[in-house]
Structure 1
Amino acid sequence: MFIKNYDFPYVFHLAKEFTIGQTIYINGIIDNNSEKEQTFTVNLIGGSTIMDFKRGAVPLHLSFDLNNNKTTYATLQYGKWGQKQETSVPFKLGKPFDIRIRAVYNKFEIYFNGKLFNKFKYSLLLPLEIIEYVTVDGDVKVTEMRVGGRVFHTPFQANFPGGSLNVGDSIIIYGSTTGNTFQVKLLDHKGKPALSLNPTFDKKLLAQHGRNGTAALRLEDEDGSTTFGSDKEFFVDLRNFKEGIFVFINRQYIMTYPHKGDASIDYAGIVIEKDVDVHAFEVCVHQR
């Protein structure tokens, strides 16, 4: 949740200990005022609600200088800067930005606008569990900050709350790929696939197999590259409506899979398998 009375800088308090497998999501819009310096920072902080050189520690500091096209990655402890790295800035003035910071073993995987931009090793002297706050300061407007995910082992299988995926419910999957294909299967109450989605990255296709037949759709980003890849974090959203399962990938509508039977009881569980690293999984239950 946001700490009240902190309109700026934005301060997000982690309700629980930040652990390996979790991701911090930050979305917003960069200010397009040419009279400003056009910089902003993101800090993962322990021991203080603000970045303070006299107390607290910063296991990860991100500084974005759009004027000079420079992103700085650093740590801060006891008032002294630790290791530093620099890359270019992937964001544009006046445009939305998407930052995802995922904790894996001994490093942060840092995604900008869905693409893996850097792997920054965190100090053993600044372990993940000391992180209490996430702050954003500078020429930006933050629209969303949240934490999600854990370590998922594949194949991953789960049953839906209440025994079925009801009309209005959604399935949210964040992940990255480790090979050429993976599968997302919705299972019926007999444990058989009612719907199977099979992205193949080398051919840029999404194959859809179900009780209503098979179809293949071409998937690619605006630059012509494949939608999926080891350097990208994908976002799959499956929504159960009366008309069918609506498939969204990276917030873009892809297709609708019509139901074979009753939409409210047709799907009992899900399996995610093959060449995929699942970052987050959630079933969003429609409020009735």
Structure 2
Amino acid sequence: MTAAVPAPRIDTSKPHPARVYDWLLGGKDNYPVDQEVGESLPAEAKDAARQNRAFMNRAAAWLADSGIDQFLDIGTGIPTRPNLHQIVQRTVPSARVVYTDNDPIVLRHAEALLVSSAEGATDYIQADVREPLTIIDHARKFLDFDRPIALSLIALMHFVPEDQDPYGIVGALVETLPPGSCLVLSHAASDRYEELAAMVTAQYAKGGIRLGFRTRSEVARFFDGLDLVEPGLVTAPEWFKDTSAPEAEDSGIYAAVGRVRQAR
């Protein structure tokens, strides 16, 4: 695989969402500033990280089983096995995956850990979801935008508050996708465990990270104009397709897959 830009210096003086997420998942690619944020969060934050990851695994596997062989994963985070390309290439060895993240530490690991099977291919761009057209311009060099693509936004958009146009960003990304493509999105809820949501938001804010948790109806807006795949917009542990149901558990994470409609 190739990287789009040289790796810049990693700022270890400020926490970063990708590294806090890595800590929550039990990873070691984080720094004291990230650990400080993670340790300040309620225990449920680790459950949420695990639920997000499990949802991604189930959704990616189902999409590959459904015949989608191109994936654009934005907000990749620090590689954690199994990575998305490993999941989908079990079913479709020729699948192509573009990974995107704005944390330089992800780029540092990408060449070593985000390596495709011989039949498929992976690519990586360091970019921010707030620059959707930059990401799409790069992805067009690697993916065929005349065939369905799965756009993955896992636990990402709650890091884009209202004044940064989250719906416009997702709309700009989805607008480029051909019919039959899918949006895969999970998002922290503001209306399920309100005290916990407020606590998490406050702790991240102390580290200079702004959050925008949303209600179910606000998360549903990201899927406007798309056809929701059953079971629709549910909590992360409740989303599954063509497999046995995951173990039931409480969750403050909404998740769904929406399909781009065929042109009429």
Using structure 2 for the length normalisation, give the TM-score: 0.29
Higher strand share: 1
Using structure 1 for the length normalisation, give the TM-score: 0.27
> Which of structures 1 and 2 has the bigger CA Rg?
1
